[in-house]
């Protein structure tokens, strides 16, 4: 890819990230009366709150993946950084050093939550509630970090 191709792809990812985080915030507002949730309450939910929770969890994954895979890499490339051979954690540390995120350690922790959402499919109500509540707790930081990266990209004239 040429630098112009990366710039355009990163700009498109930034537009998508803002759209997804805006939607996430609306969904958070709709779920704020039921989350965080206790296992016994979660077990009693009907389809509507379950579908909203499922959407929230999927959008967490989408936001994280979009930011980590497209915005972070685009930011590094467009900032003149060499990303070949850098682990994801080291990429996040470089973005922190550049001022694109507040804390690479916090971003890495958000990634742990993403991995739980993607790879764990609990049927036990306690584990289901823990999974939902963890994502619920992490969502504000995920949204803020994603928006900060987009803001950084724009402020630095990278997109």
Q: What's the confidence (pLDDT) of residue 12?
A: 98
In sequence order, the 6+-apart residues with CB closer than 8 A to the CB of 118 are 61
Q: What's the confidence (pLDDT) of residue 1?
A: 85
pLDDT in tens, the chain (159 residues): 899 999 999 999 999 999 999 999 999 999 999 999 999 999 999 999 999 999 999 999 999 999 999 999 999 999 999 999 999 999 999 999 999 999 999 999 999 999 999 998 899 999 999 999 999 999 999 999 999 999 999 999 999
Q: Give the predicted TM-score (pTM) of the model.
A: 0.94
Cβ contact 64:142 at 8 Å: yes
Question: What is the CATH T-level fold of the domain 3-155, as seen in this structure?
Answer: 1.20.120
Q: Is 42 exposed, middle or buried (0-12, 13-18, 19+ CB in 10 A)?
A: buried
Residue 11, token pair as written in the block: 């700009």
């Amino acid at each position: 890819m040429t630098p112009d191709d990366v710039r355009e792809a990163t700009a498109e990812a930034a537009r998508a990230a803002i759209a997804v985080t805006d939607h996430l915030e609306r969904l958070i507002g709709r779920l704020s009366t039921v989350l965080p949730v206790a296992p016994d309450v979660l077990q009693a939910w009907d389809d509507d709150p379950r579908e909203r929770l499922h959407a929230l969890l999927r959008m967490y994954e989408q936001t994280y993946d979009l930011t980590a895979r497209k915005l972070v890499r685009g930011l590094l490339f467009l900032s003149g950084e060499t990303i070949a051979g850098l682990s994801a954690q080291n990429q996040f540390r470089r973005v922190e050093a550049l001022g694109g995120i507040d804390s690479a350690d916090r971003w890495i922790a958000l990634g742990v939550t993403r991995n739980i959402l993607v790879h764990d499919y609990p049927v036990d109500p306690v584990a289901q509630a823990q999974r939902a509540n963890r994502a619920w707790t992490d969502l504000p930081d995920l949204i803020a970090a994603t928006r900060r990266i987009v803001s950084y990209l724009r402020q630095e004239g990278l997109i």
